[in-house]
Amino acid sequence: MQVTFGDRAHRRLNLSPVRLDHGGPSSRLQEWGQALLDAFAETGFPTAPPEARHEIIEEAFDAIARPYREIIETPLEARLRDRTAEAVLNELLLAAEEKGKSGDVAQYLVGAKFALRFNRDIPVDPANKSDRTSHRDTAPRLGDFEIENAVIEVAVGTPDDKHLQQVAEILENSAAEVWLLTRADRVATWQNELNKMDGVDSKRVVVTSVAAFVGQNVTELGEFSAKRKAEQLRALFALYNDRWVAQVGTPGIRIVVK
């Protein structure tokens, strides 16, 4: 039901269809379903003629669409003053999480960091493009990014079997080292889970936060100057906006500097 409703809402707002790359959505129907039915009952919907019902539904869609559009189209704000690069990025990821887009934002920031750091084109792929073992993918990637002898995987959620098994398979089937990037407050949890896994050589795995991974390079490229660090952050966000967000993102994850 929520998928059908979501698809209709997206069409009304001229947005891309609801994506179901990894699992189904959690509607929490028990928390709001009865309230919605009660609200419709108060409008006289059950006994209203077809024309009146259509008008009630249209008004409901409009009421829902207004805050929804604001959430999905309002860009993320980066505040640079009196903050380290790492703090700026952590704040952005927390804001993105409120929109349910922290994974996308994290992956695209990492891609922009590589483009900035190495001054070369980095393939632009949507977050959670597909499972690595998809039969439709003739050349599956080992992780989100492959740079020389390293595979970089972005996983901002809590440890899950899919990513843990992915790390194990990369180590078993390649000579690459693995960089697993997550949220700052989940680094220790991921590390502990990997340490408990049989066949995972911890000497070939680096677990760190997205903010630290990206922020350190930004600070170093800025030569530890506050002014030049801000310039590098702006350059990072320009790459992020003009490449990843423009190609595979949505307006609500653009980053503007305040």
Confidence of residue 235 (pLDDT cuts 50, 70, 90): very high
Q: Provide the pLDDT for residue 1.
A: 44
pLDDT at 243 over 90: yes
* Confidence at residue 60, expressed as pLDDT on a 0 to 100 scale: 73
What is the sign of the dihedral through the CA atoms of 214, 218, 224 and 225?
A: negative
- Residue 242's SS3 state is helix
Check residue 122 and give its pLDDT: 92
pLDDT band for position 234 (cuts 50, 70, 90): very high
Residue 19 has pLDDT above 60, yes or no: no
Domain spanning 78-257, CATH architecture: 3-Layer(aba) Sandwich (3.40)
Query: What is the arithmetic mean of pLDDT over 28-48?
Result: 76
pLDDT value of residue 171: 94
89, pLDDT greater than 60: yes
pLDDT of res. 175: 94
Domain ranges of the chain: 2-73, 78-257
Provide the pLDDT for residue 137.
62
Beta carbons of 107 and 136 less than 8 angstroms apart? no
* Euclidean distance between CA atoms 1 and 167, whole angstroms: 35
Measured between alpha carbons, how far is 197 from 183 in angstroms, rounded to an integer? 21
- pTM recorded for the entire structure: 0.74
- Most trustworthy range by pLDDT among 125-129, 197-201, 207-211: 207-211
Taking 70 as the threshold, does the pLDDT of residue 68 lie above it? no
Rounded mean pLDDT of 156-184? Answer: 95
pLDDT per residue as tens digits for the range 193-208: 999 998 889 899 999 9
Q: How confident is the model at residue 20 (pLDDT cuts 50, 70, 90)?
A: very low
**Integer CA distances (angstroms), 18 to 7, 8, 14, 153, 252, in order:** 6, 9, 12, 24, 15
